[in-house]
Amino acid sequence: MNQIAGEDNYAQLLKDITGLFAGTRGSLLEAYWITGKYITAVEEKLPERVGYGKHLIGKLSEDLAKKYGKGFSRTNLKDMRLFYKTYPIGQPAGQLEWTKVVMLLSVKDEKSRNMLLKKAVEENMTRSELQKHIELYRLKETGKEKREEEEYPVTRGDLYCYKRIDLQDGNTDREVTIDCGFNVWRSIKIENLAEMKNFLLFKTEKKKDRYFISEEIDNSDGNSNRFHTYCAGVAKVIDGDTLWLTIDTGFKTTVRQKIRLRGIDTPEINFSEGKKAREFVMRELRGCNVVVVKTYKTDKYARYIGDIFYLKGEEDPVRICSEGKLLNRELLVKGHAREIQFKM
């Protein structure tokens, strides 16, 4: 095919595409699909090595941008071509925004893509909501939901570990003020306090309603993860990654806190995947009268970020703490959540 023939085909292509966007007939999505169809048809006539065939997308981008401005970058034209090749019979879901269509084109599995497209239309998803769903399906496509447990790190804390708060006055020689967590301070009588040195961190034990220090803890990196670990009960499952817990902070003190699971994100509850994630959590925790929660810090919504450990039918918090399953990881492994970065 000679250069003149290539120029003629290109001139006709530019005319055809210009006609699509010159008026208001049809939808923008339909125009993009037809543009992809026109580009594909001309490329089949113009091998890569011949003139306009080699630089077709770049030349089109330049000429269409001069006439219409933004919206005709090389990337966008390539997406239009992919749009047609993905749906060669006809463009689907005319009411879907172009940016959402482009997001869906990244899903290679046809069945998953069509399912997502249908849900995006029916549930009127926002772009961020659609992106969450796409990431979940991508996890399934790549088999990440089958990852070994070791690939998702677990840090187990230690129950009944506290920090001393020094006050100028108000404490006796057998009493110490303790930071119980969650902004709760308690002045507690410690039976063996006089035997302790100038301690700051410690573990306690309870004998016949009296409290003792069972271990002085040094302030080393190896011990830093032992703290902020508590026995708790599940008050309410809000959604797949957020729960209300009734937390025993020790020393006959209980607080009610909203916990956001660390390192994962589940779909919103108004979507079917979000409902499935919540149902999974409720099934897993059914019969678990006692769980163990390890907390880190609060997020921008003032929720504590945490890990929840559980063992069905087990009520010994010490055993749950050391042997329990991590709810965060179970949601991820079963494909109900995506992993997100968590900074300490």
Reported as a single tens digit per residue, the pLDDT across 41-87 is 888 876 554 444 557 888 888 888 887 766 788 878 888 899 889 88
Least confident of 48-52, 140-144, 217-221, 334-338: 48-52
pLDDT score of 275: 94
- Provide the domain limits for residue 215: 161-224
The whole-angstrom distance between residue 27's C-alpha and the CA centroid of its chain comes to: 34
Q: Is residue 344 part of a domain?
A: no
**Same domain for 128 and 217:** no
- What is the per-residue pLDDT across 84-137, written as a single tens digit (0 to 9) for each? 898 888 777 566 788 888 888 888 888 888 888 888 888 888 777 787 788 777
Phi-psi region of 124 (alpha: psi -120 to 50; beta: other; left: phi over 0): left
Q: Is residue 153 part of a domain?
A: no
Q: Is residue 154 part of a domain?
A: no
- Report the amino acid identity of residue 105: L
**Same domain for 237 and 170:** no
Least confident of 141-150, 212-221, 269-278: 141-150
Q: Which of 102, 118, 146 is the last residue of a domain?
A: 146
User: Which whole number is the average pLDDT over 189-211?
Assistant: 85
**Same domain for 142 and 20:** yes
CATH code for the domain in which residue 311 is found: 2.40.50.90
* Location of structure tokens 């998803």: 125
Q: Is residue 255 part of a domain?
A: yes
**Same domain for 138 and 28:** yes
**Same domain for 298 and 190:** no
**Same domain for 207 and 303:** no
**Same domain for 247 and 215:** no
**Same domain for 103 and 69:** yes
pLDDT score of 26: 52
**Same domain for 236 and 328:** yes
Domains of the chain: total: 3
Q: Is residue 172 part of a domain?
A: yes
User: Which whole number is the average pLDDT over 323-338?
Assistant: 90
Entry pTM: 0.59
Identify the CA nearest to 203 among candidates 159, 247, 250: 159
| Arithmetic mean of pLDDT over the chain | 82
pLDDT score of 233: 97
Q: Is residue 152 part of a domain?
A: no
User: Confidence band (pLDDT; 50, 70, 90) for 152?
Assistant: low
Q: Is residue 151 part of a domain?
A: no
**Same domain for 218 and 231:** no
**Same domain for 237 and 212:** no
Q: Which of 123, 146, 169 is the last residue of a domain?
A: 146
User: Confidence band (pLDDT; 50, 70, 90) for 29?
Assistant: confident
